[in-house]
Amino acid sequence: MDDFTARDGGGTVWAAARAARAWLDAANGTGDAELTCRLLKLTEEAGEVAGAWIGLLGQNPRKGVTHTREDVAAELADVAFTALVAIESLGLDARAVLDRCAAKVQDRLHPPG
């Protein structure tokens, strides 16, 4: 078990997000320009979701149906993972940030009283 997995209690997603952040830090640095690129990467990935959905619907008559729901889900997963790496790149614990977000949503779905 590598250091990331050990620290994370075996959580593959969280370990991979931390490892990706460390790899990007080593390759590209950690300055504001690099962080900007990591944040902009979310927009790029979201565009790929849109393209896959358009391909699923066959909205490009020249191409027809080119994607499946699984393709769309895979692109959505890329968005989610890219967001986790961006959170880690801000110097925050992505798992804790996501847990707080989930708790906020739960509170909205089930308000007290």
Give the pLDDT score at 52. Answer: 98
User: Among candidates 64, 12, 61, which has minimal Cα distance to 4?
Assistant: 12
Question: Do 38 and 85 meet the contact criterion of CB atoms below 8 Å apart?
Answer: yes
Q: What is the pLDDT of residues 7-29, one digit of tens each?
A: 545 589 999 999 999 999 999 99
Amino acid at 38: R
Q: What is the pLDDT of residues 24-71, one digit of tens each?
A: 999 999 999 999 999 999 999 999 999 999 999 999 999 999 999 999
Cα separation, 111 vs 83, whole angstroms:
27
Q: What is the pLDDT of residues 73-107, one digit of tens each?
A: 999 999 999 999 999 999 999 999 999 999 999 99
At 6 the three-state DSSP class reads helix
